[in-house]
Amino acid sequence: MAANEFDAVMDRRRVPTSKWDRYPEGVLPMWVADMDFPVAEAITASLRDRLDHPVFGYGGPGPATLRDVIAADMQDLYGWSISPADVVFLPGVVPGFNQALKAFTQSGDRLVVETPVYPPILAAAGNWDLTRKEVPLRSVSEGSTVDLHRLTAALGDAEAFLLCNPHNPTGMMRTRSELEAIGKACLASGAVIISDEIHCDIVYGGKKHIPIASLSPEIANRTVTLMAASKTYNIAGLKTAYAIIPDAELRRRFVAANLGMSEGANVLGLVATEAALRHGRPWKQALISYLEANRDHLSHRLSREIPEIRLVSPDATYLAWLDCTALELGDAYRFFLDKAKVAFNPGPSFGSDDGHVRLNFGCPRALLDEGIDRMVKSLSQR
């Protein structure tokens, strides 16, 4: 897909969609992690082929061909050797980490999370009556970096760590040395690592994602890695993800904890995922180039036109974490929704304050510029 094809603005209100239906017409949605781009033709072609067979039964444990592709991808992209048998298909990453917490923790156990963080991760401890131990990231002015000393100390007496890497909402990527320190601390305490790596394919500047489980067999044997093609290839509505669990006993316990909560992945989602992983890399590379240009465009415009907003350019994801504190708006989410008619995600839902918002720049450049224009205008009129 050529970069200019990502510029096409599509009318998404013609079909039911959470992103565009939540707010009234006239509000520009820049919130949920859903891109406003058509999917790769390889995916739609594979779905058309599957639709030629008019029976849509259960997907079962998932096709062996897709397990093979995932294993090959892990080796090719990350140098991580896994077996196809290590893969467990799921309807999503959020059900995956909740299932893992059910499998490996008990009421009252300590779960470490870093804040701010993706709202379902923040809420997960409450789902299973766990004690949530929050480790704040350093501030935007410090680069939104890991406070490794506080994190490893918190992991010392924890039963589980719910890692988000690349990080949502800041777009930060963990370095190898940070991941090694995390792995060492979890091995020492016996904590299970549940690693949400759903954004691992959307990485900028020549950087390379490192699955924490790829660091050593010992760490892999204490880790549930959660991935999906859904964010990269914009197929989240097809409800398909996968866990990679190399340790057979850990995998057995994970599967046993399902307890009827889900019936595996969507049958069309499995088709779309395999098509994406087999044939979607050229499209993915074009997407990443476009998103990286969007990221830079956003950063440049904000620094020039709204310099009070602090943004550390994300290493990964198509999400930007905006520190609007210096603008003294009070509730930044509400201000921009009411005055600019732009919908972001509010900071408090990530465990932050109401001076922060999350912006999704996975959209045509024209929509990104429209959102920024609305922000600038609203601030000039207050």
- Over residues 124-166, the pLDDT tens digits come to 999 999 999 999 998 766 665 788 899 999 999 999 999 999 9
Confidence (pLDDT) at 195: 98
Same domain, 265 and 316: no
Please state, in angstroms and rounded to a whole number, the distance separating the CA atoms of residues 245 and 254: 9
Whether this prediction's pTM lies above 0.75 is answered by: yes
Same domain, 70 and 202: yes
Same domain, 260 and 302: no
Which structural domain range is residue 193 located in? 47-278
Confidence (pLDDT) at 138: 80
DSSP H or E run through 121: helix 119-127
- Which of residues 278, 300, 324 is at a domain's end? 278
Confidence (pLDDT) at 147: 86
Same domain, 61 and 35: no
Same domain, 86 and 235: yes
Same domain, 245 and 106: yes
Q: Could you give the C-alpha distances from 145 to 10, 89, 244, 291, in angstroms and in order?
A: 36, 32, 27, 22
Domain containing residue 27: CATH number: 3.90.1150.10
Task: Give pLDDT < 50 ranges for the chain.
Answer: 1
Domain containing residue 267: CATH number: 3.40.640.10
Total number of domains in the chain: 2
Same domain, 116 and 251: yes
Confidence (pLDDT) at 102: 97
Residues in the chain: 382
> Cα-atom radius of gyration of the chain, to the nearest Å?
20
- Which of residues 256, 278, 300 is at a domain's end? 278
Same domain, 299 and 271: no
Residue-averaged pLDDT of the chain: 95
Same domain, 285 and 274: no
Confidence (pLDDT) at 21: 96
Same domain, 251 and 311: no
Residue pLDDT, tens place only, 4-33: 789 999 999 989 999 999 999 999 999 999
CA 301 to chain centre: 25
Token pair for residue 65?
């061909």
- Which of residues 251, 278, 305 is at a domain's end? 278
Same domain, 139 and 201: yes
Please state, in angstroms and rounded to a whole number, the distance separating the CA atoms of residues 206 and 252: 37
Q: 3-state class of 241 per DSSP? A: strand
Same domain, 358 and 239: no
Residue pLDDT, tens place only, 142-153: 665 788 899 999
